[in-house]
Structure 1
Amino acid sequence: MESERNEALRKRMKPSMEEREEDQLSNGTVMEITEKEQSETNNVGSEEMEANISQILEKIDRFTQLVSELLESGKTMFKELSNEFEERLFMIHKEQMEKWQEEIKELRLIDASNEESNSLLNNARYLLQNPLS
């Protein structure tokens, strides 16, 4: 498994790097020292790194909670606005319908009055045209 990994690394490296890699592989102590140094660095840095990661995760959780709260309050606000808009629109419609109904009543009263006046005028015209027939 490790030989496959080393082979893959060699294929990726430049020729001069391959030579250095072969020198280091032939001298196993250099690799062991490098691995120990890396593991010591990882161990020393890992506690600090974990603390930093933990802080970032806490920030993510707080931000996610804030976004969730904003979404919920936004939904609530839009629902309230939607309900108010709908009620206001219905009220405007109702008021306009009542206004037009009132106009229709007035027009009918005017029409009835005009018909009555027209009938009186027709009667008067008939009487004037045929005074004592």
Structure 2
Amino acid sequence: MDVLHKRMKLTEEAGGEKGGGEVAVDETTNMAAVAGSEEMELNIQRILEKIDHFTQQVSDLLEAVRTLFKDLSNEFEERLIAVHREQMDKWQEEINELRLQDASNEAARTLLQNAQDHLLQNVREDS
């Protein structure tokens, strides 16, 4: 406001009449408003550019994180499948060992049973 008041005094002194001064003040005010508006528009444009830049950064970051999570997810899935396979192979090996042990035990049991039967038969024949 002080700037406009000083401009008004300068215009009155230059024009000598109050009426002529009012026209000059109006033109000065209009030019200041236009200049202010242009400056304001530049400031708004800068803010909008900052918004666009920030939005692009966020978008790029989201894409990078999405890619990272996808890669990590794939690696996790592959590792989990590998762990599952290893465990299944381990248990399958245990099953095979148990079957071999069972077959060996059955063979030994059969051998012992045959030996027992043979001994009992010999004992009966001797009696």
TM over 0.5: yes
Q: How do residues 78-97 of structure 1 correspond to structure 2 at under 5 angstroms? A: 78-97=69-88
> C-alpha root-mean-square deviation of aligned residues, in Å?
2.1
Aligned to 1:105: 96
Q: Quote how far apart the aligned CAs of 1:44 are.
A: 3.2
Counterpart residue type for residue 128 of structure 1: L
Deviation by residue 1:38-77 (Cα, 9 ceiling, x = unmatched)? x735323101101110110110111011011001101110
Alignment length (residue pairs): 99
Give distance in 2, aligned partners of 1:110 and 1:61. 72
Q: Whose Rg is larger?
A: 2
Counterpart residue type for residue 46 of structure 2: Q
Counterpart residue type for residue 99 of structure 1: K
Aligned to 1:27: none
Corresponding residue to 1:69 among 48, 60, 69: 60
Residue 45 (structure 1) aligned with residue 36 (structure 2): yes
Give distance in 2, aligned partners of 1:44 and 1:101. 84
Give distance in 2, aligned partners of 1:90 and 1:106. 24
Counterpart residue type for residue 106 of structure 2: E
Counterpart residue type for residue 54 of structure 2: F
Q: Quote how far apart the aligned CAs of 1:78 are.
A: 0.9
Give distance in 2, aligned partners of 1:70 and 1:108. 56
Scaled by the length of structure 2, what TM-score is found? 0.70
Scaled by the length of structure 1, what TM-score is found? 0.68
Give distance in 2, aligned partners of 1:80 and 1:65. 22
Question: Deviating runs (4+, > 2 A) in structure 1?
Answer: 39-42
Unaligned stretches of 5+ residues in structure 1: 1-32
Identity %: 60
Q: Tell me the secondary structure at the aligned position of residue 130 of structure 1.
A: helix
Q: Tell me the secondary structure at the aligned position of residue 122 of structure 2.
A: coil
Aligned to 1:118: 109
Residue 54 (structure 1) aligned with residue 50 (structure 2): no
